[in-house]
């Protein structure tokens, strides 16, 4: 059977609306001590994809963002730098040069970000360009129009094709959960992406009105958890879009830790995409140390 015709078993979302809402409520109600907050802040800072995705981006702006990312690191106090800097494909080479030897990766959105509305050959070409420029990670977005029209095989095939175009890079698959709307849709899209070879599921582009929510994140987490239970294979998660305060980030970290365990709290399995949060988290760390 051809790879793109792989038989995929898609499970139904296993909870009623009331059950689902109660579980999310339980997982977003928590308290923490000062020491626990410091640990959360360090984990979050080291898991951030520091991002600039604006039409006004310039090489100078990207270089400054890379310098900012590295500046957070303080080995004496065990404060990490962000996991990556995320940019558009034309700025990958600039970021790669600026971050050389720092351990901070270069991520690139590619494949018709943020709409997903291009023929697959053009999506693949953009991904291949980003890889050729030196990207360590690719953040692609699914074709929501195809998904919402019920063309699930097309969605799977496109993710699989992009997976093949970046075989050595981490692939984060953006579901754009605000457009999928229902838990069943988010759950189904999560399973498609996992089966197609995603290293990470990512909530949002940050370019629409409804971005990351604890509810959408929880559904994605459930799909990852059940895949791990069935196969032993680990898939990561990235929350992005609208996460601008430490308290918001704490909530997502707690959901992930509560359900997946502390071993899943590392940049290989947990990421936060943001342009604003890193400085606030760093300032919070400074406050706690003082």
Candidates 129, 132, 157; CA nearest to 143 is 157
What is the residue-wise DSSP string for 78-123? TBPPPSEEEE-GGGHHHHHHHTTTSS-EEEEE-SSTTT--S-HHHH
Kindly name the residue from 170, 238, 280, 284 that is annotated as catalytic. 238
Active-site annotation holds for 164 = no
Kindly name the residue from 96, 170, 202, 284 that is annotated as catalytic. 202
C-beta of residue 258 within 8 angstroms of C-beta of residue 27? yes
List the end-to-end C-alpha distance of the chain, in Å, as a whole number.
61
Active-site annotation holds for 172 = no
CA-to-CA distance for 242 and 178, rounded, in angstroms?
Answer: 12
Kindly name the residue from 27, 139, 157, 199 that is annotated as catalytic. 139
CA-to-CA distance for 239 and 289, rounded, in angstroms?
Answer: 27
Specify the pairing of strand 137-141 against strand 236-240.
unpaired
Active-site annotation holds for 234 = no
CA-to-CA distance for 6 and 4, rounded, in angstroms?
Answer: 6
Q: Which residue's structure tokens are 């979050």? A: 44
**Residues noted as catalytic:** 139, 202, 238
């Amino acid at each position: 059977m051809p790879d793109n015709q792989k038989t995929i078993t898609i499970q139904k979302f296993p909870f009623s609306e009331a059950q689902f809402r109660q579980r999310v409520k339980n997982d977003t109600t928590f308290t923490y001590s000062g020491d626990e907050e410091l640990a959360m802040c360090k984990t979050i800072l080291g898991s951030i994809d520091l991002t600039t995705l604006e039409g006004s981006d310039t090489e100078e702006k990207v270089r400054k963002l890379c310098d900012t990312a590295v500046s957070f690191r303080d080995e004496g106090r065990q404060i990490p730098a962000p996991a990556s800097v995320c940019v558009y494909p034309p700025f990958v080479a600039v970021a790669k040069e600026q971050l050389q030897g720092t351990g901070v990766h270069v991520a690139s959105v590619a494949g018709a970000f943020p709409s997903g509305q291009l023929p697959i050959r053009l999506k693949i070409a953009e991904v291949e360009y980003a890889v050729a420029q030196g990207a360590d990670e690719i953040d692609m977005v699914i074709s929501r129009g195809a998904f919402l029209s019920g063309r699930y095989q097309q969605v799977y095939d496109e993710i699989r094709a992009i997976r093949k175009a970046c075989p050595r890079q981490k692939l984060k698959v953006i579901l754009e959960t605000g457009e999928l709307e229902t838990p069943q849709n988010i759950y189904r899209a999560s399973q498609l992406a996992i089966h197609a070879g995603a290293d990470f599921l990512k909530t949002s582009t940050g370019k629409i009105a409804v971005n990351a929510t604890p509810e959408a994140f929880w559904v994605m987490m459930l799909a990852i958890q059940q895949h791990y239970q069935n196969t032993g294979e680990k898939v990561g998660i990235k929350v992005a879009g609208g996460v601008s305060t430490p308290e918001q980030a704490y909530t997502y970290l707690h959901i992930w830790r509560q359900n997946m365990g502390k071993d899943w709290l590392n940049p290989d399995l947990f990421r936060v995409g943001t342009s604003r949060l890193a400085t606030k988290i760093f300032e919070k760390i400074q406050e706690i140390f003082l």
